[in-house]
Structures are given as structure tokens and as C-alpha cells.
Amino acid sequence: MAERVVVAMSGGVDSSVAAALLREQGYDVIGVMLRLWSEPASPVVGGAVEQAANRCCSVEAVTDAAAVADRLGIPFYAIDAEAPFKRHVVDAWIDAYAMGLTPNPCLACNRHIRFGFLLDFARSLGAACLATGHYARVEVADDGRFELWRGVDRSKDQSYVLSVLGQADLRQVLLPVGAYAKAQVRALAAERGLPSATRADSQDLCFVADGDYRAFLSRHAPQILRPGPILDTQGRPLGAHAGLAHFTIGQRSGLGIGGGEPRYVVGLDVARNALIVGTRDELGATTFRTGPINWVAGMPPGESFEAHVQIRYRAPAVPARIVLEDGLTSAVVRLQAPLRDVTPGQAAVFYRGDRCLGGGLILRGQVEGEG
Amino acid sequence: MIYMDHSATTPVDPEVVAAMSPYWTELYGNPSSLYGLGRRAAAALQSARETVAGLLHCEPAEIVFTSCGTESDNLAIRGIALAAAARGQRHLITTPIEHPAVLHTVADLVERFDCEVTHVPVDRAGMVDPQAVEAAIRPDTALISVMLANNEVGTVEPVAEIGAIARRHGVPFHTDAVQAGAYLPLDVQALNVDLLALSAHKFHGPKGVGLLYVRKGLRLMTTQTGGSQERARRAGTENVPYIVGMARALELAGERRPSETERLIALRERLIEGVLDRIPDVEVSGHRTERLPGHASLIIYGVEAQSLLIGLDLAGIAASSGSACASGAPTPSGVLRAMGYAPNDALGALRLTLGRSNTDADVDTLLEVLPPIVRRVRGG
């Protein structure tokens, strides 16, 4: 009997092609879509409620994914994961903003939902593996260890948000489109007549309608949006802000300060609820510390080593020296050259060439003895 | 594929398809037209109306053809309530285990038309107490609506008894008989009902057609305006082929009822006893004996039915967790909650509804397939 695989389908082109490729390879493929989030909009007659469009799991997305599954002749189920998604992703994301961080919810989602909840669900259906439409590759090293590599299409690479995976996950994960360029994937979809061949790429903040995370926060966590002062790096007041969560490190626009030299966000001081701004020269860091690190291989390459580090989802990786601390659980990262937007709450992900070593969240605060 | 979801819908009987077939391309006339083709359609419509009236023990003029059970419930409740509201009667009585077609219609009347509602509670078996219905009646009560049989748990309600009470108090009484169409006697005189809703696809007729029995003399406000079809109670060109099909399906259901009822009860009991023997921590929901013949509803503790249903589907068995929920996200069933089940336990509701196609071999297959799926879901 063919090996059973669950494909996480979004209705988009990548996961559709992933399902098609696995089906062609002879797997017993089951399509599953997670319902992650729905926000009630206007109540309609009789107590029923309309669902607002949220991009990752709108009615249209379910319909599209179901149409793809039907075309491929595979079973398809939309299953509910709203409670774990709210707990592990949305609430954690709001909490991070409340702490003055700039979180990336995809990391938590991949850790707890896609490769947690959904992988468990796939196992309960008797599946050996979970496949997704991520642009990254799983390779097996000579010693039998599983490795995570960047997608062949570097411009679409998603290994950054998969850096939370370890050996136990990767042995059960298939990433069929990671070996292709996006244009090839679109061509593969078109060749197969898949209806999603021309759909737009999915976005990062799938649960935030219109991509407006500030509006989302004011709806769901108004308590964390408190007005406070804007200070320069010397502590001099320059104005007022409407809530720290509206800002991230390196941000220029929206400061509400007219005239003079452009000012950038250089810090979020939660204790004083103050937004710290500075000139372009005052922006940037050469060293930072991370929280606990997930090592893809299950262990670090050494106590101190050279690697490339990527500090945002779409940022280029830059050379750095990584020195492990606290019994190898966290790291001090020394960049060869300063970066403008080292942002607490984002992940620092380490690479050697195209191979992802792992990563951890960037912590607030300066490293002792550094400027 | 083994189909065990006859409460959701049923296959159309080939005899019904045959009865409908002349009315698509040959006898396609509009029953309101004066020429021969129209008259033929009108005759077919009248014949269907007489057939249905005969089976329900009412007059043909008391039958209103509609597009589905939901429309029938809407017309009955809205039509009676709005007519009564004009006389100052705004109180409605129903139960918390009704189909959304009833519950949401009542909620809308409360929200937008200043009606008041009393939801008469049910017991752990989903049974309504007729005395509790009587106690809820007020001078301004416009309508009582209690379903004949529950879709999720199969419990058959004491409708005739409630109907007698309603009549004594002079309150119109509606029953949603959609789940009962194939399996229970539908004699509106014996049931003491003033309004009764049916849907053809639940008894091997086509989807998209239903009917409402409206006792003559009742004041019913129309909710769909337009032409004067159905004695101006339901505007819109009559769906002749479907109505003909529904009448034939109801006729066939009546003919098959005695033997099917006995057969399905035996099959259901074998299924229920088999599941109780093979799977620990399972309970039958709904009334143990006063239930629809083919209806087996179970609470499987410690699981979310969603996983079971997918496991069963992959094993080739079509089942459900209660009512088909359009929004997808599993929320604990309101019916089970009203019966006193905790939300988490209600998520473990599995509904297996047997019908004409099911055999002993189907039940054997289910009893073989279900236990390992439950083990896997509980273990995972």
C-alpha cells in the first residue's frame, strides 16, 4: 500500500503543486487545510454571524483548495485549529508586542501549529509524513541526520521560518516545491490545469485582515496601546506616540515629528512606555544576544563559530561570529559590520552556505562591554 | 462507499426519477398557463397535491409546496407569528433542540419584531415534557413549535400529546417533521398539528422541494410576495417535476414504512450494541427506544468527532457528527448542550443514520473499522 502523506493546503499555488507532485510520485495524498482564525463581522439575521475575510482561511481559500483536491482526486478536509492557533500564535504575538518586541508569528505557527498540531493530526490519520508548500529543502546528510536547506529559489526562500524545526520534525516533513523556482512552480501548476496557477502569494500575517496589524491590535488588545512620550537618545522629549506596538526598530515614517534631520526608531522602552528615536547614525548594532536556540541538527556546530546570520525573514544573511553562552542555550552574535534593524522579537537564524543551522529570538538590551 | 448519513440526505429513488422525467422536456408547461401544456402541468400538480393530502390525511388545499424544509419552517413560524403580532399576540414557544430553520427564525422574530420566546427545556434524552409546554402557554401565545423527531439524536417527541394541549388552549401548533418523513406516520389529524413541514430529499425525493401543511382557517401571513400561486401563500412558479417527484417519494415511503421500520430498528440495535461492546467510554445519546428507526447517535468520550469522521471517510464510511455545520469549525452541539452534556463531551458526538441501502454487512464493516480509528484518535 502506498505511503500516506498529509499535505497542508492553503488553496495557493505552492501547496497545490506540492500535493500534485506527491500524488504523481505515488503517495496516498490527503489534503488538509487548517482553519486558524475567523473574526466575526456584522451579525446577520437570526443570530448567525458572517465571517470576515482573513486571508489564510477564507471561504474562498477553502473553496480553492477543495477544487484543487478534487482535480487531483485526493480527499480534502478543512479542520479546526482556532483554539491552539489563538493560544500559541495570536496571544503570544500580542504578548510580545506588549513587551516591546516585534514578533514573527510564522515561527510560532510552524513550531506549534503546522509542525505541531497538524503533524500530530496527520499521524492520527495514519500518515507517515506531512508535506507543505514551503520554499526550503530537507536533505539527508551522510551521517543520517536531516538537514534544512534554503529553497532553490533564493528570492522565495522560507527556511528562516522553518528554523524552529528539529530532527524529530524533519524526518516527517516533505517540502516538494523547495527544489523549484517560483516561476517553475507556476508553470507546473499551469501544466496541470490547477486553478490556483495565477493566485497571489500568501502573506505573512495571515490572520490580520487587510494586513493592518495596528488595527488588529486595537481591536484585540487595546490595553497594550497606551500613549506615551517620544524621547531622543539623550532622554529629551520630542513628542508623543499612540502606542509602542505601532513601532519597530529602524522605522522612519509615522513619527509625527516635523522638520529637521530624519529620525528613526532606535528603541522601545517598555518600562517608561517611551519611544526612543535617533538619527541615522545612532541606529544599528554590531552585537546582540539571542534567547534559547533551536539547532536543526540537535546540537550546535561548536561553542564559538563563524556563520552567516539572518535577522529578518527577507533580510540577506551577513557574516558573524556566534559565541554560545549559558550552557550553549543562548548566543552572543558579533556581526562583521553593523546592521540597522536588529530587532528584539525577530529571529536570528544561522546559515552555512544554504544550510540552515537553527536560530533563536533576538533579545532586548546590549551585550556587556559593547557600545 | 458505505452511506450511513441518511439524516443528512438520501439518494433519489429510481421510481421517483422515472415519475419526474416527463416534466423536464415534454410536459414543461407552466401550471398557470391556459393552453394544453399548461393544463397538463396543472393537472400533475393537482394530482401530486391530492396524493400528498391523502398521505397526510388532510385536504389538498391545505398543502403548500415550497423549496425545502427550511422554507416551510420559515413560512409556518413567520407567517403565523406576523399574523398574530398584528393582533397583539407576540409570544412563541419552542424548544432548544429545534433545527436552525426554526431557532433562527424565532430569534429573528424576537430581534426584529418584538416577539418573546420561551424555550421549553428537554431532559437528558432530548425529550420535551408536554406539561412544561402547557405551563409555558400565555394568553398572548401565538404559536408552539416542537419538532417531530430530532435530527442530531433521533429522539421522537410526544407531538400528539403536545398538540392536544395546544388545541385545548387554542394555540396554533407547528411541527418540523423533516427528519420523520421517511419513517414515521404523518397523519396530521392523529398528530394534532396545525402546521407540518417536510423536505423531499430526506425520503428519497429530490433536493430543493418541500411542503407545508397549513390547517384551513389558520391566519398565515405570506412571506414571499409575487404571483398568486399556492393560494397566494407562496408566490413563484411551482416546481412541477420536483413536486411530482416528492409526491411519489412520499407515497413510496408510506408503502415501505412497516417493513423498513422493523428492519432498520434491528440493524440499528445491532450497530449500537456492537459499538458499546467494542469501544469503551461510549454512550448512546437521545432516547434509547423513542427514536427514529435507523438513527444511532453516540457520544464517544475523549475524542473530537472531526477526527473520527475523517478516519471513517478514509475507510469508505460516510457519517456525521450531528447536523452538517456550514461554518466548519466544530462548536459543541446546542442540542447536546441543551440535553445537559458538557461542551467537551458534546464534541465527541458521532451520528450514524441507517437507511434503505444499509445491510448487515455494512454494520459488520463499521464495527470492524470504527474501534481502531477511535483507539488511534484517543491515543494520538
- Boundary residue ending a domain (A211, A239, A262): A211
Q: Which of A58-67, B166-175, B285-294 bottoms out in mean pLDDT, i.e. has the lowest?
A: A58-67
The CATH number linked to A244 is 2.30.30.280
**Residue A169 maps to a domain:** no
**Predicted complex ipTM exceeds 0.90:** no
Residue pair A160/A349 in contact by the 8 Å Cβ criterion: yes
Q: Are residues B192 and B207 in the same domain?
A: yes
Give the residue-averaged pLDDT of B205-234. Answer: 95
Question: For B330, which of A46, A51, A80 is closest by C-beta distance?
Answer: A80
Q: Are residues A231 and A184 in the same domain?
A: no
Model-level pTM?
A: 0.87
What would the 3-class secondary structure string for chain B be?
Answer: CEECECCCCCCCCHHHHHHHCHHHHCCCCCCCCCCHHHHHHHHHHHHHHHHHHHHHCCCHHHEEEECCHHHHHHHHHHHHHHHHHCCCCCEEEECCCCCHHHHHHHHHHHHHHCCEEEECCECCCCCECHHHHHHHCCCCEEEEECCCECCCCCEECCHHHHHHHHHHHCCCEEEECHHHCCCCCCCCCCCCCCEEEEEHHHHCCCCCCEEEEECCCCCCCCCCCCCCCHHHCCCCCCCHHHHHHHHHHHHHHHHHHHHHHHHHHHHHHHHHHHHHHHCCCEEECCCCCCECCCEEEEEECCCCHHHHHHHHHHCCEECECCCCCCCCCCCCCHHHHHCCCCHHHHCCEEEEECCCCCCHHHHHHHHHHHHHHHHHHHHC
- Boundary residue ending a domain (B252, B286, B303): B252
Domain that holds residue B245: 14-252
Q: pLDDT > 70: what percent of chain A? A: 89
Distance CA(A251)–CA(A70), nearest Å, equals 45
Distance CA(A43)–CA(B230), nearest Å, equals 33
Q: Are residues A199 and A230 in the same domain?
A: no
Q: Quick one: pLDDT at residue B144? A: 98
Q: Are residues B238 and B277 in the same domain?
A: no
Dihedral in degrees, nearest 10, Cα atoms B152, B153, B158, B163: -10
**Residue A160 maps to a domain:** no
Q: Quick one: pLDDT at residue A44? A: 43
Mean pLDDT highest for which of A282-291, B261-270, B306-315?
B261-270
Q: Are residues B129 and B79 in the same domain?
A: yes
**What's the structural domain count of chain B?**
2
**Is the predicted pLDDT of residue A258 greater than 70, yes or no?**
no
Q: Are residues B55 and B160 in the same domain?
A: yes
Q: Are residues B183 and B284 in the same domain?
A: no
Task: Report chain A residues whose CB lies below 8 A from the CB of B373.
Answer: none
The CATH number linked to A34 is 3.40.50.620
- Boundary residue ending a domain (B252, B281, B302): B252
CB-based contacts of B17: which residues, under 8 Å, 6+ apart?
B245
**Residue A95 maps to a domain:** yes
**Residue A155 maps to a domain:** no
Distance CA(B253)–CA(B77), nearest Å, equals 27
Q: Which cell is A336 given?
A: 562583521
Distance CA(A114)–CA(B2), nearest Å, equals 32
Q: Which cell is A89 given?
A: 500564535
Q: Are residues A130 and A199 in the same domain?
A: yes
The CATH number linked to A341 is 2.40.30.10
Q: Which of A57-71, A88-102, B176-190, B358-372 bottoms out in mean pLDDT, i.e. has the lowest?
A: A57-71
**Is the predicted pLDDT of residue A204 greater than 80, yes or no?**
no
**Residue A118 maps to a domain:** yes
Q: Are residues A179 and A38 in the same domain?
A: yes
CB spacing of A48 vs B307 below 8 angstroms = no
More confident residue, A208 or A269: A269
Is A42 within 8 Å of chain B by CB?
no
The CATH number linked to B302 is 3.90.1150.10
Which residue, among B108, B308, B312, B374, would best test binding to A if mutated, counting the most A CBs under 10 Å from its CB?
B108
Distance CA(B351)–CA(B67), nearest Å, equals 26
Name the pLDDT band for A46 (thresholds 50, 70, 90): very low
- Boundary residue ending a domain (B252, B269, B294): B252
**What's the structural domain count of chain A?**
3
Q: What is the pLDDT of residues B88-128, one digit of tens each?
A: 999 999 999 999 999 999 999 999 999 999 999 999 999 99
**DSSP SS3 for A148:** strand
Of chain A residues 49-108, which have a CB less than 8 A from chain B? 51, 62, 75, 77-80, 82
Q: Are residues A255 and A336 in the same domain?
A: no
Residue type, A367: V
Q: Are residues B241 and B260 in the same domain?
A: no
**Residue A167 maps to a domain:** no
Q: Are residues A290 and A241 in the same domain?
A: no
Q: Are residues B203 and B345 in the same domain?
A: no
User: What is the count of residue pairs from A and B with beta carbons less than 8 Å apart?
Assistant: 52
The CATH number linked to B32 is 3.40.640.10
Q: What is the pLDDT of residues A154-199, one digit of tens each?
A: 999 999 999 999 999 999 999 999 999 999 999 999 999 987 666 6
Q: Are residues A115 and A182 in the same domain?
A: yes
Grid-cell match 408510506, residue found: B254
Residue type, B147: M
Q: Are residues A198 and A329 in the same domain?
A: no
Q: Are residues A76 and A188 in the same domain?
A: yes
Q: Are residues A57 and A41 in the same domain?
A: yes
Distance CA(B129)–CA(B311), nearest Å, equals 38
Name the pLDDT band for B327 (thresholds 50, 70, 90): very low
Domain that holds residue A331: 285-362
Q: Are residues B238 and B155 in the same domain?
A: yes
Q: What is the pLDDT of residues B32-89, one digit of tens each?
A: 999 999 999 999 999 999 999 999 999 999 999 999 999 999 999 999 999 999 999 9
Name the pLDDT band for B312 (thresholds 50, 70, 90): very high
Catalytic residue among A56, A57, A106, A109: A109
Write the CA distances from B33 to A312, B25, B43, integer angstroms.
72, 17, 12
More confident residue, A42 or A226: A226
**Residue A159 maps to a domain:** no
Q: Are residues B46 and B162 in the same domain?
A: yes
Q: Are residues A278 and A180 in the same domain?
A: no
Q: Are residues B330 and B356 in the same domain?
A: yes
Q: Are residues B93 and B183 in the same domain?
A: yes
Residue A117 DSSP one-character state:
I
**Residue A146 maps to a domain:** no
Which residue, among A34, A44, A45, would best test binding to B if mutated, counting the most B CBs under 10 Å from its CB?
A45
Q: Which long-range contacts (CB under 8 A, 24 or more apart) does B24-32 make?
A: B24/B241, B27/B240, B30/B237, B31/B229, B31/B237, B31/B238, B31/B240, B32/B227, B32/B229, B32/B237
Does the annotation count A109 as an active-site position? Answer: yes
CB spacing of B329 vs A47 below 8 angstroms = no
End-to-end, the C-alpha distance of chain B in Å comes to: 26
Distance from chain centroid for Cα A165:
12
- Output the average pLDDT for chain A: 89
Q: Are residues B264 and B217 in the same domain?
A: no
